[in-house]
Structure 1
């Protein structure tokens, strides 16, 4: 966290919003990537990052919601393929 001291003498946070925006974008990318590979790992990570971004008040709420939905979708796709193949993993 970077603190800056403006002319008023008080310290303010400058990285909080960027951090939450980064979490929202990362959740979207990981959720999207998780649809193809490693959905057991990338799905929960996308869900956690999206949840944290939404709780902390990101300005990219749409991207965070998409990341959350894609993370859940990752796990649902994994579950569907596990049921169809009767195995713990799946491949192309």
Structure 2
């Protein structure tokens, strides 16, 4: 009788949990710098983590929201400055 999950299943869950955390960190970092690149990456990582069934669902949802916020902030500052990028 096997009491633990197979190694591939544990690795898969750990990978999706890592994607959820990475999406949160990249989304948060994207609010400050490189939001054009970090926002979409955060959105993709969060979507994949949620699709694969991460145990850190809240963190993946935060990463998804922050990724979208990155793009909204970029669009707002682009509209305000009439440029392609923004800076402090």
Same fold (TM over 0.5): yes
TM-score, normalisation: structure 2 = 0.91
State whether structure 2 residue 50 is matched by structure 1 residue 54. yes
Larger Rg: 1
Mapped to 2, the partners of 1:55 and 1:66 lie a distance apart of: 15
In structure 1, runs of 5+ residues without a counterpart are 1-6
State whether structure 2 residue 76 is matched by structure 1 residue 74. no
In structure 2, runs of 5+ residues without a counterpart are none
State whether structure 2 residue 27 is matched by structure 1 residue 31. yes
Residues paired across the two proteins, number = 84
Name the structure 1 match of 2:40.
Answer: 44
> Over aligned residues, Cα RMSD in angstroms?
1.4
Mapped to 2, the partners of 1:63 and 1:22 lie a distance apart of: 10
Structure 1 residue ranges (4+ consecutive) displaced by more than 4 angstroms after TM superposition: none
Mapped to 2, the partners of 1:48 and 1:90 lie a distance apart of: 23
**Bigger proportion of residues as strand:** 1
TM-score, normalisation: structure 1 = 0.88
